[in-house]
Amino acid sequence: MPSTVRRATCAAALLLGLQAHAQEGPITPPTSSAMDAPLFYQLLIGELELNNGQAGVAFQVLLDAARRTGDEELFKRVVNIAVQARAGDQALMAARAWADTAPKSVEAVQTIVQLLAVLNKPAEVPQPLKTLLTLSPEPVRPGLIASLPRLFQRAPDPKAVLTALAPVLQAQTGPLRPAALYAEARLALNAGENARALDLTRQLHEAAPEGDDAMQLAVDLMPTEPKAEALVAERLKARPDQHALRQAYARTLVKMQRPAEAAREFRMLTEATPDNAAAWLALGAIELELKHYPASETALRESLKRLDIPAAGTDAEIKARAEGRQSVWLMLSQLAEQRGDLKAAEAALQKLEGNGLDVKFRRASLLARQGKLPEARKLLQPALNAGDADTRAALLSEAQLMREQRDYAASLAVLKTATT
């Protein structure tokens, strides 16, 4: 028997068995009926049509069977068929039929909300969202509310999402209010309504003064709403042991081009968590930018000590450590070069693995300092078989090299080539 037929036969048999067990009274041996055989063949035909590439026909056949039986697993099957066929409206129709048939099904209503988000129909979300919150167990509700910004993070019109969901969120009270304030603030931030997001963040901080959500929002708001920084500073003053918050704060200061203050925060992190290789690495990079060469070298070598210690971990962690070591040696080479110690700069480059563009750039910079500019430019030339992105990156590196050599005309000429 072909596998598809066998799978359909098993599914049909299982469904018939479930129907038999659902009947009240003692279990009796199954008997054939006029409904059993048609249902069996309907399921069989649906699976065969799907196997033959007729997803639309299979969808209609199996949706009809799901409606007739009320079986939730069959409804899920139909929704998945439509999703895999990229037929979003049909998937939504099946999910709504599922919810109509099983009005207390949390999964059915949750599927509707998820599909409306994917289909960019925020205006239709409020009613099923209210139903979902009503049906869901109380301990789950805050998490459902807090997950809404992530669900709609790719929405093409964030303002429409905020307009649609805000009334539902504002109606939440009691234990759900902090999650609702967080969700509305995050949606406001996504929609570019930063002042509103800040106000909601303050309300959240008042509602849950020990929580972390308001701090996450405040850090994200800092570049556009400077007053948000006061919330973070106040928390770190009261709770200096919140190292993750301090690290996020320091990274945001870097993005805001406030390196001296960022260095201060990373320095505090290295004092509080001396085994944190990432904090030492970040501090070294900032000190290098500030041209504090002794402090930079100290921090970078402290980072290297921790990155060089063999440690077990996931593939991602091992890769991150290797990339960290690569970054340290690149910066140590740059540091030595800026000090004029070209021998030490070359020695640091010898520690590097691979021959990526960042490594090539450092080698080219050293060659240029030695008066070998043509050789340096040749080193940065893209390969003949390089793709457009790699070619452009190589040309931009060459333009940067020429700018560092103060040959601005040559740098501009290379930039024009990169952008054409």
Same domain, 14 and 112: yes
- Work out the pLDDT band at 337, boundaries 50, 70, 90: very high
| pLDDT higher than 50, residue 167 | yes
**Which band of pLDDT confidence, cut at 50, 70 and 90, is reported for residue 173?**
very high
Q: Is residue 400 part of a domain?
A: no
The answer to whether residue 221 scores a pLDDT higher than 50 is yes
Is-contact 369 342, C-beta < 8 A?
yes
In a domain, 275, yes or no: yes
Query: Does residue 251 sit within a domain?
Result: yes
What per-residue confidence (pLDDT) applies to 30?
41
Which of 353, 382, 409 is the endpoint of a domain?
353
- CB proximity list for 15: less than 8 A, separation 6 or greater: 39, 43, 69, 71, 74
Q: Virtual CA dihedral for 152, 158, 162, 163, nearest 10 degrees? A: -130
Same domain? 250 vs 320: yes
Q: Per-residue pLDDT tens for 342-363?
A: 999 999 999 988 788 888 999 9
At 137, is the pLDDT very low, low, confident or very high (cuts 50, 70, 90)?
very high
Which whole number is the average pLDDT over 111-118?
96
Within-domain flag for 111: yes
Is residue 79 located within the same domain as residue 11?
A: yes
Residue 134 in contact with residue 168, Cβ under 8 Å?
A: no
Q: Are 226 and 199 in contact (CB under 8 A)?
A: no
Query: What separation in angstroms does the CA of 367 have from each of 278, 401, 405, 406?
Result: 30, 11, 11, 15
Identify which has the larger pLDDT, 252 or 85.
252
- Domain shared by 111 and 182, yes or no: no
- Domain presence at residue 250: yes
399 sits in which H/E element: helix 388-404
In a domain, 197, yes or no: yes
Contacts of residue 394, Cβ cutoff 8 Å, sequence gap at least 6: 357, 380, 381, 382, 386
Residue 364: burial class (beta carbons within 10 Å; 0-12, 13-18, 19+): buried
The answer on 258 and 222 residing in a single domain is: no
**Mean pLDDT (whole number) for 402-415:** 90
Q: Assess if residue 1 is contained within a domain.
A: yes
Of residues 112 and 71, more confidence is placed in 112
Do both 283 and 313 map to the same domain? yes
Q: Is the pLDDT of residue 141 over 50?
A: yes
CATH (domain of 255): 1.25.40.10
Domain boundary (304, 320, 353) is at 353
Give me the sign of the Cα torsion angle 151, 156, 158, 162.
negative
Q: Residue 25's pLDDT is what?
A: 43
Identify the pLDDT of residue 73. 87
pLDDT confidence tier of residue 58, bands split at 50, 70 and 90: low
| Over residues 185-202, mean pLDDT | 98
CATH for 93: 1.25.40
Look at the chain and report how many structural domains it folds into: 3
- Mean predicted confidence (pLDDT) in 292-321: 88
- Region 24-53: mean pLDDT is 51
The pLDDT of residue 38 is above 80: no
Q: What is the pLDDT of residues 231-240, one digit of tens each?
A: 999 999 999 9
Mean pLDDT of 17-41: 45
Q: Which of 353, 382, 411 is the last residue of a domain?
A: 353
Share of the chain above pLDDT 90, in %: 62
Query: For residue 56, is it within any domain?
Result: yes
183: domain range?
159-229
Q: So what's the pLDDT on residue 129?
A: 98
Asked if 110 and 195 sit in the same domain, the reply is no
Residue 258 burial (10 A CB sphere; 0-12, 13-18, 19+): middle
In terms of domains, do 181 and 286 share one?
no
Predicted local confidence at residue 70, as pLDDT: 79
According to the model, what pLDDT value does residue 34 have? 35
100 and 184 in a single domain? The answer is no
Is residue 336 domain-shared with residue 255, that is, in the same domain? yes
Prediction pTM value: 0.79
* For residues 35-61, average pLDDT: 59
Q: For residue 133, what pLDDT is reported? A: 97
Q: Measured on CA atoms in the order 185, 187, 188, 190, is the torsion positive or negative?
A: positive
Contact 307, 319 (CB under 8 A): no
Confidence of residue 311 (pLDDT cuts 50, 70, 90): low
Indicate the angle between helix axes 158-170 and 126-135, nearest 10 degrees.
40
DSSP sequence for 296-351: HHHHHHHHHHHHSS-----HHHHHHHHHHHHHHHHHHHHHHHHHT-HHHHHHHHTT
**277 shares a domain with 225:** no
Confidence (pLDDT) at 84: 84
Query: Mean pLDDT throughout 211-219?
Result: 97
* Residue in 86, 159, 91, 87 with CA at minimum distance from that of residue 122: 159
pLDDT at 312: 65
Q: Given a cut of 90, is residue 78 above it in pLDDT?
A: no
Residue 24, pLDDT score: 44
Mark whether 221 and 303 lie in a shared domain. no
pLDDT of residue 44: 56
pLDDT at 7: 44
CA 132 to CA 110: how far, in whole Å? 6
Please indicate whether residue 381 or residue 291 has the higher confidence score (pLDDT): 291
Spatial distance between the Cα atoms of 380 and 407, rounded to a whole number of angstroms: 16
